A and B are shown apart, each in its own frame.
Chain A
Amino acid sequence: MTRIVFSKTGYAKYISHLDLTRCMARIMARADIPIWYTQGFNPHPYMVFSAALPIGVCGERELLDIKLVDPPEYSILLDRMIKNSPDGISFSGIYDSDYDFKYIEKAVYRLIAPSDVSESFEEFVSSAVIPASKKTKSGEIKIDLKEEMQIKKTGEEKDGAVFEIIAPCGNERNISPTLLTGAFAEKTGNSAVFDIVRTAFLDGKSDIFR
């Protein structure tokens, strides 16, 4: 399998996952990537994404697996993909990998709380429990974000306070950092916009998933 490393930043963070898959297929077509098509009544380019990003969250190191037919050198392909992508979507790596996405267990996020709410946010995340409700296929369930996530303040920037969040990510269990900002907005009535970036995936041994 050919693994591609890409980023989704700026206004592109507002593109839904479904729209991203369509966008990727078009990037591949424009870049003339010899991508393998599924066989069947309605063939489509074979692509598997590591994990969907919530709308409004950027991704710095997102992963996409494709299958290629007689590919030329990878560096040429990478170059062509970069040239053919819209603003906010870019590519930084291409390599072979058989390490299946099912081994992804967690994701690391960088969250910047804007200066005007950074203190109250810090206080909020240090409470003993952070109740939230999560929509699932079988209805809404109550969870404690404090138990699900590791939240740690890592510094200050001119835009606000920086936090690192490690949360479950993958097919088995997926907890979005937007649940945390949503719970904060609900509790304080402050709908500040947080800058959230997914920076990496982790496997079961908490190593960076590549």
Chain B
Amino acid sequence: MINNIDKILSSVSKPSWYIGTELNAVHKDKERIHTRVAYCFPDLYDVGMSHLGMKLLYHLMNEREDLWCERVFTPNTDMEELLRKTGTPIFALESKDELKEFDFVAFTLVYELSYTGIATILDLAGIPLYAKDRTDDMPILLAGGPCMCNPEPVADFFDVIDIGEGEENLNELFNLYKECGKNRHEFLEKAKDIRGIYVPNHGEKQKKVTRAIINDLPNVYFPDRLVVPFAQVVHDRISLEIMRGCIRGCRFCQAGIIYRPYRQKPVERLKNDAVKLCQNTGYDEISLLSLSTSDFQKLPELAESLKEYCIPRKISLAVPSLRIDNFSKEISDEISSIRKTGLTFAPEAGTQRLRDVINKNITDEDIERSCKIAFENGASAVKLYFMIGLPTETDEDIVGIAKTAEKVVDYFYKYATNRSRGINVTISCATFVPKPHTPFQWEQQLTLEEIQRRQELLKSSIVSKRVHYKYHDADTTVLEGVFARGDRKIAKLIEAAWRLGCRLDAWSEHFDFSKWQKAAEGCGIDFYSYTARKRSFDEELPWGFVDSGITNEFLKRECEKAYRGETTPSCAEKCAGCGVNRLCKGDVCP
């Protein structure tokens, strides 16, 4: 245990981020533990503690009696400075032991802009960043999370990368570690045989790594408790995952591919989980979590059964991620009866033509119909998600975004029961980043200048004062694109940028693109060769060795259909033959 903890905590801002005694935090006797895991989230506490995946795996690992999993987050800049000034190593929150004492240092990688956090944590731990520079007595570095469907940009840093759903193979991995009697080389060699496990820096390179998939989602582990932070965090509530995967097949969407197949949890199980979670945390809000909540077949039944428990206890129920085409009166009633939440829809593109290209199967009529229901039920704020820079996009599509938002304003005055409150429509606009394993993985991304031009065009196309426009910085998008489809050369770039002082890049107040540009120059890396170049179907892709379960033939077919403006029906209507069922036992698809 580090010896000056009180000195550190009494001088840092938000000390409760670093105390590790939150309710349901797991404390064990380390003398009786075989395997110790320092589980790191490479961003600040309040972001990491909002991420369900980390909380879920934290408790899953701690279910094992022979293992103690503790948490580590990237310290805020003042804490980093303080640790350096006092020569204190970064510590795991629960035991306050330094990371070198652990068997595993594991990272969950959820978004690309958190990659410099890996370097911050390892440097503060005194652990070399590159696998090749580490000795046998050092912890084994493990990584997982959705970003690892293209592990190459960070592969040089890690000993083991878990691709896919960790619930499925983590126990097998830790069993193996025990069987190997902590023999590192034996463990790394044998780990390659576990499905989903990629060992990038030991022995022969694996020709193929197949994503780990939970076969029996209805019965898979879900924690009955969550660590309840003292400090307020971004998502400070119970996230109840109701299903995994998505039936829709939007062609830009990586989550829609890498969480296939579509698997729902039974209502009974969800109700039981929700009750236990409420009792064990004391939270007063439950949020249903999935990629497209309104596609959950028994949503009204689920909402009804949760309401029965929640209303007398003043627990509110949030239902995000609704689709426009099946947003019904029933769903609207369920939401408004507990506590009103703002309404959010994602048309993604401004014209029907472009929505067909991306396979977002919604129409202008769908938008009008859902707005009618929402406004008749008293909604007065609508948030619309769009993307710019999608393949085949023209200026007409950009102007279409503004027009779509203004139509929503018109629908308000046409249908609202109480017009005096007025309407607020917010357009939230991201820039398209081609992602690995999607039908658009070969596409080109807009250059900085072109992103800015289209953002300006959209801004100038909005006439109504009721419509507000929010957009992301163009330069972060470029960097995301580089990481998303990067190769092994990117590791050097991450290291160089970190050495130049890049920290917490997902935060606009910290992000400094000029440093990244300088780092790229130094490494001889041209961002646009990763982002702004259309790749041919024949090109060997850095993530080509990762089998997501979805065949390349399917992705090519979908890409070609996109250019023809043809849509593909949802998995619920007709199987599109993506190939994921090859990797599943029995009949898992809808």
User: Which residues of chain A from 66 to 94 have any CB-CB distance to chain B below 8 Å in the complex?
Assistant: 84-88
Stretch at the interface among B5-13, B30-38, B106-114: B5-13
Known: A12-B21, A19-B232. A27 touches B282 (CB 8 A): yes
* B228/A11 in contact, CB under 8 A: no
* A84/B314 in contact, CB under 8 A: no
A23 to B16, CA, bound (A): 12
Known: A30-B282, A84-B282. A43 touches B15 (CB 8 A): no
* B284/A14 in contact, CB under 8 A: no
* A14/B15 in contact, CB under 8 A: yes
In chain A, what residue has the closest Cβ to B9?
A: A14
Known: A16-B16, A19-B230, A19-B232. A26 touches B21 (CB 8 A): no
Known: A55-B15, A193-B10. A86 touches B232 (CB 8 A): no
* B314/A43 in contact, CB under 8 A: yes
User: Nearest chain B CB to A33's CB is how many angstroms away?
Assistant: 10
Is B283 positioned at the interface, with any CB of A under 8 Å from its CB? yes
Residues of A within 8 A of B25 (CB): 86-87
User: Which residues of chain B from 266 to 308 have any CB-CB distance to chain A below 8 Å in the complex?
Assistant: 278-284
* A191/B11 in contact, CB under 8 A: yes
A37 to B315, CA, bound (A): 12
* A26/B10 in contact, CB under 8 A: no
Residues of B within 8 A of A28 (CB): 282
A28 to B9, CA, bound (A): 28
* B279/A19 in contact, CB under 8 A: no
Known: A29-B313, A43-B314. A88 touches B7 (CB 8 A): no
Is A15 positioned at the interface, with any CB of B under 8 Å from its CB? yes
User: Which residues of chain A from 189 to 208 have any CB-CB distance to chain B below 8 Å in the complex?
Assistant: 191, 193
A25 to B236, CA, bound (A): 14
* B21/A25 in contact, CB under 8 A: no
* A15/B280 in contact, CB under 8 A: no
Main secondary structure of the interface of B (DSSP, over half): loop
Is A22 positioned at the interface, with any CB of B under 8 Å from its CB? yes
Residues of A within 8 A of B10 (CB): 14, 56, 193
Is B23 positioned at the interface, with any CB of A under 8 Å from its CB? yes
Is A131 positioned at the interface, with any CB of B under 8 Å from its CB? no
Residues of A within 8 A of B278 (CB): 29
Q: What count of chain A residues pass the 8 Å CB interface test?
A: 27
Is B231 positioned at the interface, with any CB of A under 8 Å from its CB? yes
Residue among B7, B283, B284, B314 making CB contact with A193, cutoff 8 Å = B7
Is B19 positioned at the interface, with any CB of A under 8 Å from its CB? yes
In chain B, what residue has the closest Cβ to A29?
A: B282
* A30/B281 in contact, CB under 8 A: yes
Residues of A within 8 A of B281 (CB): 26, 30
* B284/A29 in contact, CB under 8 A: yes
A193 to B12, CA, bound (A): 13
Is B350 positioned at the interface, with any CB of A under 8 Å from its CB? no
A11 to B10, CA, bound (A): 11
A33 to B11, CA, bound (A): 36
* A15/B279 in contact, CB under 8 A: no
* B21/A30 in contact, CB under 8 A: no
User: Nearest chain B CB to A62's CB is how many angstroms away?
Assistant: 16
In chain A, what residue has the closest Cβ to B313?
A: A29
| Interface bits B226-239 vs A (CB < 8 Å: 1, else 0) | 00101110000000
A193 to B281, CA, bound (A): 33
Residues of A within 8 A of B228 (CB): 23, 26, 86
Residue among A14, A27, A43, A84 making CB contact with B19, cutoff 8 Å = A14
In chain B, what residue has the closest Cβ to A181?
A: B10
Residues of B within 8 A of A16 (CB): 16, 230-231
User: Which residues of chain A from 1 to 32 have any CB-CB distance to chain B below 8 Å in the complex?
Assistant: 10-12, 14-16, 19-20, 22-23, 25-30
| Interface bits B478-496 vs A (CB < 8 Å: 1, else 0) | 0000000000000000000
| Interface bits A152-184 vs B (CB < 8 Å: 1, else 0) | 000000000000000000000000000000000
Is B20 positioned at the interface, with any CB of A under 8 Å from its CB? yes
A27 to B230, CA, bound (A): 12
Is B168 positioned at the interface, with any CB of A under 8 Å from its CB? no
* A193/B6 in contact, CB under 8 A: yes
A35 to B474, CA, bound (A): 50
* A15/B230 in contact, CB under 8 A: yes
Is B22 positioned at the interface, with any CB of A under 8 Å from its CB? yes
In chain B, what residue has the closest Cβ to A32?
A: B279
A191 to B282, CA, bound (A): 38
* A30/B279 in contact, CB under 8 A: yes
User: Nearest chain A CB to B551's CB is how many angstroms away?
Assistant: 48
* A19/B231 in contact, CB under 8 A: yes
* B7/A14 in contact, CB under 8 A: no
Top 4 nearest A-B pairs (CB, nearest first) are: A26-B282, A29-B282, A14-B15, A86-B23
Q: List 26 A-B contacts (CB under 8 A).
A: A11-B21, A14-B9, A15-B16, A15-B19, A15-B230, A19-B16, A19-B231, A19-B232, A20-B230, A22-B230, A23-B23, A23-B228, A25-B284, A26-B281, A28-B282, A37-B314, A43-B314, A56-B9, A84-B282, A86-B230, A87-B27, A191-B7, A191-B11, A193-B6, A193-B7, A193-B10
Given contacts A14-B10, A26-B282, 19 further A-B contacts (CB under 8 A): A12-B21, A14-B9, A14-B15, A15-B19, A15-B230, A16-B230, A19-B231, A26-B283, A29-B283, A30-B281, A30-B282, A55-B15, A56-B15, A84-B282, A86-B21, A86-B23, A87-B21, A87-B27, A191-B11
